[in-house]
Amino acid sequence: MKVRVLVRPKSGILDPQGEAVRRALPALGFSGVKTVHIGRLVEMEVESADKVEGMCRRLLANPTVEEYEWEVIS
């Protein structure tokens, strides 16, 4: 099965990457963007979804500064 994991900075954590993109968008004429947060997308093919939670907690995300969610996509 395929699993999709989404990792993003916790709210309140400085996200300079998102901030840089937010500032760059108006330069291209895209106005009205209030916030941008940039995370990481991990897609995996796994035999079972049993261990995905552990994978997220122990490696794919750093729970100190990131939050994650995951779903089975097929």
Partner 1 sequence: MGGDLLVRIGVTVFPGSNCDRDALYAVERAGATPVELWHADADLKGVDAVVVPGGFSYGDYLRPGAIARFAKVMGPLEDFARSGGPVLGVCNGFQVLLEAHLLPGALLRNASMRFVSRRVRARVEANDTPWTSLYERGEELTLPVAHNEGSYFADERTLRGLEEEGRVVLRYVENPNGSVNDIAGICDEGRSVVGLMPHPERVSDPALGSEAGLKVFESVLRFAGAKV
Binding site for partner 1 (CB under 8 A): 13-14, 16-17, 20, 59-60, 62, 64-65
Q: Provide, rounded to whole angstroms, the least separation between the CB of residue 19 and partner 1.
A: 8
Please say which residue, 27 or 59, places its beta carbon nearer to partner 1.
59
Least distance from C-beta 17 to partner 1, angstroms? 6
> Minimum distance from CB of 63 to partner 1 (Å)?
10
Range 10-43 burial, b when 16+ CB lie within 10 A, else e: eeeeebeebeeebeeeeeeeeeeeeeeeebeebe
Contacts of 23 by beta carbon, 8 Å cutoff, 6+ apart: none
Q: Which is nearer to partner 1, 43 or 74 (CB)?
A: 43
Q: Which is nearer to partner 1, 30 or 62 (CB)?
A: 62
Residue with tokens 């552990």: 54
Compute CA 37 distance to the chain's CA centroid, rounded to the nearest angstrom: 8
